[in-house]
Amino acid sequence: MKIQQKIEGNVAKNCHPLALQKMIQKQIAYINNAGSIYGPKKVLVIGSSSGYGLSSRIALAFGSRSDTIGVSFEKGPGEKGLGTAGWYNNIYFKKAAEQQGLIAKNFIGDAFTDEMRCQVIDYIRHGFGGKIDLVIYSIASGIRTTPDGKKYTSTLGVRCGEFSGPSFNLESETLSTQSLSQVSDQQINDTIKVMGGEDWRLWIDTLREADVLAEGCKTIAYSYIGPESTYPLYRNGTLGAAKEHLHDTAEILNKKLMADINGEAFIAVCKAVVTKASAYIPIFPLYISLLYKVMKEKKLHETCIEQMHRLMFTRLYPAMGPVITDTERLIRIDDLELRADVQKEVEALRLKVTPANFKEISDFAGYLKEFNELNGFGFEDFDYNQDVDFQKIIELAKLT
């Protein structure tokens, strides 16, 4: 069979299991060229199969020779299709890391459950040397079932009023107006349940009680603030409410970890990048493609891997001294995105965007290329006309 790309709206409906290796190799090559550093040796990444979690794992394994455990929620091949890109990312990462003599253990399942926490702790004790020194929390999800069995769904919406803006559709390559409505208190609270800090705290509390966090262990979760033009759809929206909760959780965890094991908890405020999760947010992809246009012109462009390299090696594990934060104890790796000259140009472009010119005005092509690559499509040096044997994919998928 030949695998042709399928996109519905801004959602990828399939991936190319073989070509995804290119995506992993590209990120590893970046880190190999960027040079090594002294970082953590035993790392747990929760949300490790794509986006920022995957790039964190690659940056640390190949930049700092870290052994890693990854937890992710992905689907393998079966009757319903070839499975999700993250399933294969886990396999290709593991293969490459093991070739370097590193431990790369993948847990695939629901990170929101106590069962997953137990499995990971058991493995840390019996297969990973007993202690970890960094926990990365990088989950993006629309639903969460809490350990008491209640299911929560997040909503993308604004906390006050309504917000409309131009939004592009990757499938039809068109631009149209999309609106975000005001949400109820219940919807805000449910979004906080899914994307706030509660589950991160459960992980850290459980790991601490199980005595598997090393002295001085750090934990970090990822957040977004963005420029004022995006406040209505992000910072002042439901996602912003969840991120406020995440930031408050970092302070609680920091106090506890400090007192118990001389540990620390941080929030890294990251840059807007193309990922499965960000493509799903209405209006946001257009902002990202305008940002890409300006940052590429200024030679400041960063994708997940460049961001995570800079985060790990210049902020969380700088060559000398403590972790580098702002006055609110946030690690600001969104500094280049928020530079005044960058935002001034993005804003000027945004005001000129129309359905007729958006592809020229923004870096739509660059956005689409990165989106395609997330799912293993669009690599120039890969033969997409080759026949793929489904049985071979099934065998490959077992390597996770």
How many Cα atoms occupy the beta-carbon half-sphere of 10 within 13 Å?
A: 22
The CB-of-358 to ligand NAI minimum distance in angstroms stands at 19
**What is d(CA 77, CA 91) in angstroms, rounded to the nearest whole number?**
13
Per-residue binder mask for ligand NAI (CB under 6 A), 301-330, x = binder? ------------------------------
Q: Using the rule CB under 6 A, which residue among 93, 224, 371, 379 binds ligand NAI?
A: 224
Scan for tokens 């840390």, then name that residue.
124
Q: Using the rule CB under 6 A, which residue among 5, 141, 164, 189 binds ligand NAI?
A: 141
Q: Which amino acid is residue 149, in one-letter code?
A: G
Scan for tokens 């969840």, then name that residue.
242
* 92 near ligand NAI, judged by CB under 6 A: no
Q: Using the rule CB under 6 A, which residue among 138, 154, 167, 375 binds ligand NAI?
A: 138
The CB-of-180 to ligand NAI minimum distance in angstroms stands at 17
Q: Using the rule CB under 6 A, which residue among 73, 92, 200, 379 binds ligand NAI?
A: 73
Q: Using the rule CB under 6 A, which residue among 5, 65, 110, 206 binds ligand NAI?
A: 110
Residues 40-69 that bind ligand NAI (CB under 6 A): 47-53
Q: Using the rule CB under 6 A, which residue among 223, 249, 254, 362 binds ligand NAI?
A: 223
Which residues lie closer than 8 Å to 256 by C-beta, 6 or more apart?
A: 204, 205, 208
The site for ligand NAI, by CB under 6 A, has a size of 29
Interacting span for ligand NAI (CB under 6 A) from 20-28, 222-230, 353-361, 380-388: 222-230
The residue (of 112 and 371) whose beta carbon lies closer to ligand NAI is 112
Q: Contact at 8 Å (CB) between 134 and 141?
A: no
The answer to whether residue 234 is catalytic is: yes
Interacting span for ligand NAI (CB under 6 A) from 24-32, 95-103, 108-116, 173-181: 108-116
Q: Contact at 8 Å (CB) between 170 and 368?
A: yes
The CB-of-320 to ligand NAI minimum distance in angstroms stands at 27
Interacting span for ligand NAI (CB under 6 A) from 110-118, 127-135, 248-256, 310-318: 110-118
Reading the block at residue 141, the tokens are 């999800």
Which of 234, 287, 292, 317 is catalytic? The answer is 234
Residues 242-301 that bind ligand NAI (CB under 6 A): 270, 272-273, 275-278
CB-based closest residue to ligand NAI:
51
The residue (of 248 and 389) whose beta carbon lies closer to ligand NAI is 248
The residue (of 29 and 143) whose beta carbon lies closer to ligand NAI is 143
Instruction: Return the HEC string of the chain.
Output: CCCCCCEECCEECCCCCCCHHHHHHHHHHHHHHHCCCCCCCEEEEECCCCHHHHHHHHHHHHHHCCEEEEEECCCCCECCECCCHHHHHHHHHHHHHHHCCCCEEEEECCCCCHHHHHHHHHHHHHHCCCCEEEEEECCCCCEEECCCCCEEECCCCECCCCEEEEEEECCCCEEEEEEECECCHHHHHHHHHHHCCHHHHHHHHHHHHCCCEEEEEEEEEEECCCCHHHCCCCCCEHHHHHHHHHHHHHHHHHHHHHHHHCCEEEEEECCCCCCHHHHCCCCHHHHHHHHHHHHHHCCCCCCHHHHHHHHHHHHHCCCCCCCCCCCCCEEECCCCCCCHHHHHHHHHHHHHCCCCCHHHHCCHHHHHHHHHHHCCCCCCCCCCCCCCCHHHHHHHHCCC
The residue (of 261 and 323) whose beta carbon lies closer to ligand NAI is 323
Reading the block at residue 265, the tokens are 């908890």
The CB-of-140 to ligand NAI minimum distance in angstroms stands at 4
The CB-of-112 to ligand NAI minimum distance in angstroms stands at 5
Residues 362-391 that bind ligand NAI (CB under 6 A): none
The CB-of-223 to ligand NAI minimum distance in angstroms stands at 6
The CB-of-347 to ligand NAI minimum distance in angstroms stands at 18
Please list the active-site residues: 234
Give the interface with ligand NAI as residue ranges (CB under 6 A). Answer: 47-53, 71-74, 86, 110-112, 138-141, 222-224, 270, 272-273, 275-278
